Amino acid sequence: MSARIRRFRITGRVQGVYFRHSTRLEAERLGLRGHATNLDDGSVEVLACGNESALESLRLWLHRGPPSARVHAVSEIEVDGETDPPAGFEIR
């Protein structure tokens, strides 16, 4: 099965609560590559690359996040033609 790339945008109380760090740990556990980035509007963007089942597991996890986060919404798009994500999972 070929790797897919998804971009997620998570809104709510997701900055300053170890959301990116926790996302990196979960993505690494699932064998995904990509990055998590704080955005100026207070949301977090996650780019993830891997197999469909791992991406689905990450999507479900993003709706919860770490214990101190309060996720309001997760939007998602499949990315076509994106440059290759990093070899591992980065926090940016």
Residue 22 domain-assigned (yes or no): yes
Q: What is the DSSP secondary-structure string of 63-83?
A: TT-STT-EEEEEEEEE-SSPP
Q: What is the pLDDT of residue 83?
A: 60
Cβ proximity of 69 and 12 under 8 Å:
yes
Q: State the residue range of the domain holding 69.
A: 4-79
Residue 28 domain-assigned (yes or no): yes
Residue 48 domain-assigned (yes or no): yes
Number of domains in the chain: 1
Strand positions, DSSP E, 1-92: 4-13, 33-38, 44-50, 70-78, 89-91
Domain holding 48: CATH number?
Answer: 3.30.70.100
Which member of 6, 20, 24, 33 is catalytic? 20
Which member of 38, 51, 64, 70 is catalytic? 38
Q: What is the pLDDT of residue 8?
A: 97
Distance of alpha carbon 40 from alpha carbon 27, whole angstroms: 23
Q: What is the pLDDT of residue 81?
A: 64
Q: What's the whole-model pTM score?
A: 0.92
Residue 91 domain-assigned (yes or no): no
Residue 85 domain-assigned (yes or no): no
Question: For this structure, is 20 an active site residue?
Answer: yes
Mean pLDDT by 10 residues, the chain (92 residues): 87 97 98 97 96 97 97 89 76 94
Distance of alpha carbon 61 from alpha carbon 55, whole angstroms: 10
Residue 54 domain-assigned (yes or no): yes
